[in-house]
A and B are shown apart, each in its own frame.
Chain A
Amino acid sequence: MLKMILKRIFQLIPVLLITMSITFVITRVLPGNPAVSILGPQASAEDIEKMEEEMGLHDPLPVQYVHYIGGLLTGDLGTSYRYHRPVAGLILEKLPNTLQLAMTSLVIALLIGVPVGILSAVKQYSIFDYVAMITALVGVSMPTFWLGLMLVLVFSVNLGWFPTMGMATLADGFGAVVSHLFLPALCLSFGSMANFARISRSSMLEVVNQDYMKAVRAKGIRESVVIMKHGFKNALPPIVTVLGMRIASLMTGAIMIETIFSWPGIGRLIVEAINNNDFELIQGAVLFMAVLYVGVNLIVDIAYLYINPKVSYESERRAG
């Protein structure tokens, strides 16, 4: 098993290398001059020249690439031109904020989505099932941007229950943390919630109608135990797969939410970096997101082995 995990880790190296190189090339090849973006309209030709020199843009592309890779190998993600600060520092500073938002959303989505999905499966074709699944369908297809603005309009502006933007720290009090977190987290969780509900329902449906469930029921065990212990446990693997995918997409999905709610996370950092052609920051942040994405997927794969021993990567390989 350890050998397999190590192998999976080694497989990630080319993925990351390709991601990194593509980002590097795209930021360089796309039209647009970062020095101009940063300096603004009133910059003179000399100002721009000076800035380009400082940014190392006069070096040939391969030289810049080697510099970049060299930096990465020593753990240096570069320096943001706009903030005049190390990229790694900026990302690490923003990471907890994005994690706070993404994890809260995940918890909300799980706590609501999974039970709704199970109930829908158990009560298949009931009113509950219809309402829940239609809602989930709407939830999956609703643009977050619109939803965010609506939530703010109703709950912040009209009702005055929550602040419209920003983030609070524990220094502002626990209440402030929760009230600032609530709307963006809810908004971000909607898509995932719907996703969990749908996958839990279909996965459960497959399980509840199987023969062994009938056998368990025949033993006279309480229905809730039948559902949770015997049913849900076997319905879990697809949910875990979705969970892994959702963690990564919640992190990236936070980009939109962070912009709407002025949430100081990595998403907002990336949007600003793109707006300003802040090369090093874009590269660093994209690479970081890529590492996160493949990292989470790796963990999911490993977790899979434990919850569902039927899955064996060896057999998968042979079959493929």
Chain B
Amino acid sequence: MKRRLFAVALALSMVVGLVAGCGGKEKEETKKEPEKQEEVDTSNVSDEDKFGGTLTIALASIASNIDPIMYTGVYEGQIIENIADTLIVYDNAVTDFEPSLATEWTANEAGDEYTFTLRDDVYFQPGKYQEGRKMTAEDVKYSLERSHNESALARLTMLDHCEVIDDTHVKCVLESPNASFLAALTNSGNVIVPKEEVEGWGDEFGAHLVGTGPFMMAENGWKTDQGVDLVKFDKFWGGDIYLDGLNFVYITEVNQRVNALKNGEVDIAYDLTGEGIEEIKADSNLKMIQEAGMGVNYIYFNMANGPTADIKVREALQTAVDREAMVSALYQYGEGQVGYLALPPNSWGYDESLIDIVPKYDVEKAKKLLAEAGYADGFELEYYTGDSATSKKIGEIFQQFCAQIGVTVNIHQAAWGTFSEIGASGNADVISMSWTWYPDPYFYLNKMFHEESLGTLGNGQQFNIPEVNELLDEAVAVSDQNERAELYKQALKLITEQYAQIDYSVANVNVGMSSKVMDFPVRPDKTIEVADGVTNNTWLAK
């Protein structure tokens, strides 16, 4: 009898698995209409009730090293910025600079010297090699020069050296006038760290980061491959923050991030895509936030070799693609929105009026343009992209559009390292990728369209127009932002007129969170500023 029971149980467990698979689908169908997210009324929560609790955030990638000069991924920066501080930061909308460790800053007339006034009440977190001493201008000099000399990603190339004026004043001298310096300073690679800890830990500093931020590494807090545990730093200059701790966990599989969120194991999950977004919207205990991000997705054409070297051909290809249809097919769950230009709309160099220059979808016109260029019978294009499913889908949609005008597109998918080598070499006809960085247009336009970037993946299309180079050079040497914006708009106009790339979408920042999480800013640049001593102070509702 018992044996039979066991067999039945075993068979049953199989059936449950199968049914669960089908059941899940049914549920999604009935829940197609997402309910409106209602904001919880928190006006009667006293300040005292906001204290306590540990916030757990799921990141989509594994942070391998959080030494500010060694880190290379966005997600690593997301951890660093909660432990250590930069001199200045971007506000939550990522448009203006806000004070952080520096209260004031001024540039000289030439724009090649910046002087910072530092806060006088900043302490380092205690570590193995110092007991939590006061931060001074010497530390700023040390950290910034270290970044300039050693950073894996050359995050502060424009700096020449720093001079300590007194304990609370430091002057940064640049190699040449460079207005992107302030934007670069906000990068997590340029946080201020104590020399003793850096030198004491050596290569292991990346697992024992010490800074001046609201959270410090917990004892044995660095768990390779699993996550990082942080605890509140009591002597944080920004005052008493609400949370007791902040944990990051790495969950690389997107469905599992959704599951962990639904199960209450994590409070916030980043980088969500697909059906999980609907599930979160439908769950009354969760909220889904989708804000326009800083990432532009595009397909760029080789301007030096092959048929796309002809501007008429590029215009024809642009005219053959229906951006709106492409985006709605790609992002069924609102992961992104239609884009038209090489800058994200929330960058201050963006100029909406330029959208008029972008060719409208018109198959007949596209065919005519191709015929004029001498390709009435079409041609073949070698299209290169990354190895994700989305990359493939983008390629297939593009392939369909091109087929309408007789152009054959051969899709090649490759892992990141291979793909970027092909892209940077300038040998690919078409490359599909995305770009994201600081809101300063310098980090988009100079990196994608300046002669200096030839040979890098940013400018794999071989874009090299002398007028554009001049405008970009001028824009970075001027320190007035309005003047710069004007120059970048001029450059962006020239760039758009070259039809060099189909900028089809702007990625959203897709974050799911428990409805208990309060005052957590979801920022367009994906930085995580749980508490910053100025505007943000996240708390957990009980």
Shortest B177–chain A CB gap in Å is 20
- On whether A166 and B249 interact (CB within 8 A), knowing A138-B14, A147-B17, the answer reads yes
Segment 168-219 of A: residues with Cβ below 8 Å from B: none
Q: Which residues on B sit within 8 Å (CB–CB) of A149?
A: 255-256
Q: Is the CB of A135 within 8 A of B10?
A: yes
Chain B 282-296 interface mask (CB, 8 Å, partner A; 1/0): 000000000000000
- Nearest-CB residue, chain B, relative to A79: B203
Contact of A262 among B16, B72, B249 (CB under 8 A): B249
Contact of B11 among A33, A42, A135, A152 (CB under 8 A): A135
Q: Is the CB of A85 within 8 A of B154?
A: no
Q: Which residues on A sit within 8 Å (CB–CB) of B70?
A: 84
Measured as residues with beta carbon below 8 angstroms from the partner, the interface class of chain B is 35 or more
Answer whether residue B536 sits at the interface, using C-beta atoms and an 8 A cutoff: no
- On whether A32 and B153 interact (CB within 8 A), knowing A163-B265, A259-B253, the answer reads no
Contact of A31 among B7, B20, B421 (CB under 8 A): B421
Answer whether residue B447 sits at the interface, using C-beta atoms and an 8 A cutoff: yes
- On whether A166 and B265 interact (CB within 8 A), knowing A82-B64, A83-B64, A127-B7, the answer reads yes
Chain B 436-465 interface mask (CB, 8 Å, partner A; 1/0): 010000000001000001011110000000
Q: Which residues on A sit within 8 Å (CB–CB) of B417?
A: 31-34, 36-37, 277
Answer whether residue A246 sits at the interface, using C-beta atoms and an 8 A cutoff: no
A154 to B16, alpha carbons, bound, how many Å?
8
Answer whether residue A39 sits at the interface, using C-beta atoms and an 8 A cutoff: yes
Chain B 145-170 interface mask (CB, 8 Å, partner A; 1/0): 00000001110000000000000000
A259 to B418, alpha carbons, bound, how many Å?
23
Contact of B458 among A36, A42, A131, A153 (CB under 8 A): A42
Segment 99-116 of B: residues with Cβ below 8 Å from A: none
- On whether A42 and B263 interact (CB within 8 A), knowing A166-B226, A167-B226, the answer reads no
Answer whether residue A316 sits at the interface, using C-beta atoms and an 8 A cutoff: no
Contact of B252 among A38, A167, A262 (CB under 8 A): A262
Answer whether residue B309 sits at the interface, using C-beta atoms and an 8 A cutoff: no
A135 to B98, alpha carbons, bound, how many Å?
63
Answer whether residue B178 sits at the interface, using C-beta atoms and an 8 A cutoff: no
Q: Which of A33, A44, A259 has the most CB of B within 10 A?
A: A44
Q: Which residues on B sit within 8 Å (CB–CB) of A32?
A: 414-418, 421
Answer whether residue A70 sits at the interface, using C-beta atoms and an 8 A cutoff: no
Question: Measuring CB to CB, which residues of chain A are less than 8 angstroms from any residue of chain B?
Answer: 30-34, 36-47, 50-51, 82-85, 90, 93-94, 116, 119, 123, 127-128, 131-132, 134-135, 138, 146-147, 149-154, 156-158, 160, 163-167, 259-262, 264, 268-269, 272, 275-277
The 4 closest A-B pairs by CB, nearest first: A32-B417, A37-B417, A32-B418, A131-B7
Apart from A42-B153, A128-B7, A157-B263, what are 7 other A-B pairs with CB-CB below 8 Å?
A: A32-B415, A36-B416, A123-B3, A153-B24, A157-B262, A165-B259, A262-B256
